[in-house]
Amino acid sequence: MKRVCVCLLLVLCLAGASARADVIWEPMDPFYLSHRAECTEVDQLWEAQVDTALYDKPGGTVKESVSAGDSVYISTLWSGGWGQMPWRDYWTNLADYRRLYDIHDFEAAHRADFVREEHALTMEEDVFLLDGQALEGQMEDSSLILWTYPVSGKKSRAFSRDEFDRAIRMTANTCWRDAEGRLWGYVSGYLFGSFEGWICLSDPLNGEIPPEGPKYADEAPQDPAPEETEAPVAGGLRSPGNGSGPSPMLPAALVLAAVLTAALSLYRMRRRSVKTA
């Protein structure tokens, strides 16, 4: 009986942890809580065009300042034209900023051109390999370069030989080819910290690939919305539009299923113990 209760407790704890893993962090400052219906959660970088300020709430008390050219990360947009920085709960007037073009804009613009191809980056005897073939131009200090997105000019990370040992296999299965004919592959995983981005499979060790395309989101061409067809994008298949992700009720359903299964097992064991007696 005691063993079953302990198992039931473990199941509940593990199931609860799984459910909490899907919870999105929300700011808890008074302004957000009173205007939650007017706010949208985002993942964006904005660059200040003039010297501006950070406030405790829109139109409130100045807490810090931001210099022209500095970038701030915004996780919440308020319909009144302000954005909030996470964790510190500071707000800033986005009229003083321009949003930087990012991986989400890149996906939206090039989703139709993504293809399913699998390429593997590995290492053998301190030599970087792509699909089993040694990369050209390797030197002792060579590193695999991870970019935020293709031809962004922004490096996300560099993997040295010391990090990328023979136990690692980095696989790209979503690819895109740029205007210069270079093939890029999306990768993600964990190696001394989580990582996500694009590697230029045509030139993986080159950290000097120049940026192309828009710097700001408002400079990107505004194409008509594409038809909602499923296409490969970073991290797997994703359909544009709403409702393509997993149901928010899924974690709760898994918890309930785990509890019912444990309860049924407890009931059966108790019945067997009564019959034995």
In this prediction, residue 193 carries a pLDDT of: 82
Band of residue 180 on the pLDDT scale cut at 50, 70, 90: very high
pLDDT band at 164 (very low <50, low <70, confident <90, very high): confident
Per-residue pLDDT at 213 exceeds 60: yes
Q: How far is the C-alpha of 53 from the C-alpha of 211, rounded, in Å?
A: 30
- Find the helix or strand (DSSP H, E) in which 168 lies: none
- The pLDDT score that the predictor gives to residue 27 is 72
pLDDT band at 241 (very low <50, low <70, confident <90, very high): very low
The answer, yes or no, to whether residue 202 has pLDDT greater than 70, is yes
**Mutual orientation of helices 2-20 and 250-276 as an angle, nearest 10°?**
180
184 three-class SS: strand
CATH 2.30.30.40 positions along the chain are 30-100
- Is CATH 2.30.30.40 correct for 30-100? yes
Decide if pLDDT at 12 tops 70: no
Tell me the whole-structure pTM to 2 decimals. Answer: 0.69
Residue 166 pLDDT class (50, 70, 90 cuts): low
Q: What mean pLDDT is reported for the chain? A: 78
